[in-house]
Structure 1
Amino acid sequence: MTNGGIRRVLLVLAKVFLARGHRVDLVLTNQAELTLELPDGLNVVRFGTRTRRSLPHAVRYLSENRPDAVISGRAYTDLLFLAAKLLSRQKHCHLMWTFHTEQTMELAHKSRSMKLLMRCAYRLSPYADVCVAVSKGVARDLTRYLPKTARIEVIYNPVAPLGATPALRPDHPFWHQQDVPILLSVGRLVPQKDHALLLKVFAELRAQRPLKLFICGDGSLRGALEILAAETGYAQDICFAGHLPDLEPYMTHADVFVSTSRWEGFGLALAEALAAGCPVVATDCPSGPAEILDHGRLGRLVPLGDKNGLIQAISETLDAPKAVSNGPVDLSAYDPDRVADAYLNLMERFSKQ
């Protein structure tokens, strides 16, 4: 499991399932150390090897544990458990393949071998019980690749509820200067998130006004982005914080949440920022941000790659009173219990077929 949005989604779902008395296993195919907080009662199963060598372990797991359903979120794990189900003859086990990003854009940026794997999963998708798209945009895009016999359902990602008490201000020097606004970005440091554009936008804004940029996330581009940050001349006002397990304090006390993604599927961090009451500015990329922000009603949407548009939207959001710029937000569609109900209802329908 990586530290991205899929991880947060699966753990939120697991917590709800466990609270309702279901047994939940977290299956890991590699030896990666778990550095994240797991829900109480979650059973961790390690295959101890890479996915392509995990088939015997997956067959044994299905045969011995007989799970009612397997929820997976990557092409390689989709295919792994499809093969394991066929070999173990566990017909009662329902396969729920979840699609978290715009597939057209994913394909355009994957290696040749990964493209082949993804297209193989598309071809075999009718053998899954359901293909869950995390937004209507992802569902529309999926119809370009999945056979007509594949079953596609839209279930939004769950957004974890805020803590029972208001989050304290982060203990970071940026938040010690209460008169200097802070822009917040959350996402892996990969080409998809386009942090290079964010840094260019920040540099122009910083030339006009006191400002800080706090970036949560890690990834392959961190070194290159740190060099780019130094080249802006404002490195002292930019923090690469790495992965942070608890984002609520930062989202609650940031002045604007900014997303410069080239593509998404849902945009989990956007929804989390709205839940925390943080004003949002995002690129109108495929797919998810427009749905979450209700086509601009709940936050500012800027055309993809529009640097000047981002600068203007962020400036106007900073200058607006926070309560006015955010407004009332209905996030009931992302309530974890409601999302869990959608998955459980699908499983119940499967069991009756």
Structure 2
Amino acid sequence: MTRIACFFSTSGHSGVDRAAQHLIPALARRGYQVDLLKVRRHGPLLSAIPPGVRVIDLGSRHTYACLPAIAGYLRRERPAVLLSDKDRVNRTALFARTLARIGTSLPTRLVFSSGTTISIDLATRGRLERWVQRNSMGRLYPFADQVIVTSAGVADDMAAYTGLARDLIRVVPSPVVPDSLFTADLPRPDHPWLGDPAMPLILSAGELCRRKGFDTLLRAFARIRSQRPCRLMILGRGGERAALLALAAELGVAPDFALPGYVPEPYAFMAHADLFAFTSRWEGLGFVLIEALAVGTPAVATDCPSGPREVLQDGRYGPLVPVDDVAALAQAMLGTLDAPLPAAQLHAAARPYAIEAATDAYLDAMRLPRCPA
């Protein structure tokens, strides 16, 4: 039976984790044997191990230290494909395949994945780390059989920043939402701010950090709140929590602002909100934006690099505003609250990111049949 190996080393709650938690069971449902190669104390964490999936402990908490174990696994199991994600993991996968091939014929194809706008992501890193990753992608990634990314913006940025040929990079939609979500009747969460027609709820979600632009969202919300009754809720946790609460108090909107914390599956909150605001300064795709559209909630997004412009199809499925433009964001949110698009129209924007459709795209990129013979 055809075997696919997935090698990840993640935080446990990143976009890569969520994609892997959807992709791995979907591949197994198609009839593939899937091995999740795990760095200790790192994600992704599967809520349950489905039939056809093995979780293999690589014996170390450090990615590079797992290299001998991965090489041994490749020699022993000879999977058709080794799929990896993020630069350090990708480099380790390449070195492991090279080591495993010494003195033997190894058929394993190597597929690298990356999900961030690399030039912006590295801008705040140290000079050495920037040099290593830039040269790694430009000089080592051509030895992979395929490089896949989450959006065309990420692909263009990677090619321009690293020198990797653009035609070596393939855009593959991430498996973001279950197919059942498009028709699900989600119960209203037990929160007093949901379902109050007199006080529309603006919702956002993500790590409470500078990258997500929640400070800009709060300032735009304060403008809206001065014109009409409404509330703002942001789901997530992170280091900017105290700063956001202080800013809300400074702006005079603290009574109508809430930070409930991290919600593993925010679908029900999204479904019962009146508007979803996506305000990142940079991204690789924007999972929460896709999730909101999938449950039929109107959305507004910053035109950040990269992802929202592709997801919203140049503004067809929701307004795009410049990053950090408080006035434009406030105006777009007001306009969308007054004239939201119908849910059926919003679903169309999210359907390429449904799990089964995205799994088809992954299998095509890995040069495997959508269902093995």
Q: Please, what TM-score do these two structures have when normalized by structure 2? A: 0.85
Query: Conserved in 2, the CA contact under 8 Å of 1:11 and 1:39?
Result: no
Comparing 167-176 with 219-228, which one deviates more in the overlay? Answer: 219-228
Comparing 339-348 with 298-307, which one deviates more in the overlay? Answer: 339-348
1:93 matches 2:108? yes
Distance 2:339 2:49 in 1: 39
Comparing 320-329 with 109-118, which one deviates more in the overlay? Answer: 320-329
- After TM superposition, give the deviation of residue 142 of structure 1 in Å: 1.9
Q: SS at 2:33's partner residue?
A: coil
Residue correspondence of structure 1 range 149-160 to structure 2 within 5 A: 151-160=168-177
Distance 1:60 1:315 in 2: 58
Comparing 238-247 with 330-339, which one deviates more in the overlay? Answer: 330-339
Residue correspondence of structure 1 range 18-97 to structure 2 within 5 A: 18-32=28-42, 37-38=47-48, 40-41=50-51, 42-47=53-58, 48-89=60-101, 91-97=106-112
- After TM superposition, give the deviation of residue 349 of structure 1 in Å: 6.5
Change in Cα spacing, 1:165 to 1:137, as seen in structure 2 (3 Å) is closer
- Report what 2:236 is aligned to: 217
Give the number of aligned pairs: 350
Q: SS at 2:356's partner residue?
A: helix
Distance 1:36 1:236 in 2: 38
1:294 matches 2:313? yes
- Report what 1:345 is aligned to: 364
- Report what 1:181 is aligned to: 200
Residue correspondence of structure 1 range 125-164 to structure 2 within 5 A: 125-144=141-160, 145-148=162-165, 151-160=168-177, 161-163=179-181
Residue correspondence of structure 1 range 302-317 to structure 2 within 5 A: 302-317=321-336
Q: Please, what TM-score do these two structures have when normalized by structure 1? A: 0.89
Change in Cα spacing, 1:195 to 1:87, as seen in structure 2 (3 Å) is same
Deviations 1:50-86 (Å, cap 9, x if unpaired)?
2233223333333343332222221110111111111
Query: Conserved in 2, the CA contact under 8 Å of 1:126 and 1:150?
Result: no
Change in Cα spacing, 1:68 to 1:222, as seen in structure 2 (3 Å) is farther
Gaps of 5+ in 2: 1-9
1:336 matches 2:348? no
Query: Conserved in 2, the CA contact under 8 Å of 1:162 and 1:275?
Result: no
1:111 aligned partner, one-letter code: G
Query: Conserved in 1, the CA contact under 8 Å of 2:311 and 2:349?
Result: no
- After TM superposition, give the deviation of residue 149 of structure 1 in Å: 8.8
Distance 1:52 1:219 in 2: 28
Query: Conserved in 2, the CA contact under 8 Å of 1:11 and 1:38?
Result: no
Distance 1:265 1:336 in 2: 18
Distance 2:322 2:43 in 1: 39
1:308 aligned partner, one-letter code: A
Query: What's the C-alpha RMSD, in Å, of the aligned pairs?
Result: 2.6
Deviations 1:180-221 (Å, cap 9, x if unpaired)?
111111222222211111121122222332222221222333
Query: Conserved in 2, the CA contact under 8 Å of 1:99 and 1:132?
Result: yes
Deviations 1:141-198 (Å, cap 9, x if unpaired)?
2221143397211111223224464001111232264431111112222222111111
- Report what 2:124 is aligned to: 109
- After TM superposition, give the deviation of residue 292 of structure 1 in Å: 0.9
- Report what 2:188 is aligned to: 169
Gaps of 5+ in 1: none
1:265 aligned partner, one-letter code: G
Q: SS at 1:240's partner residue?
A: strand
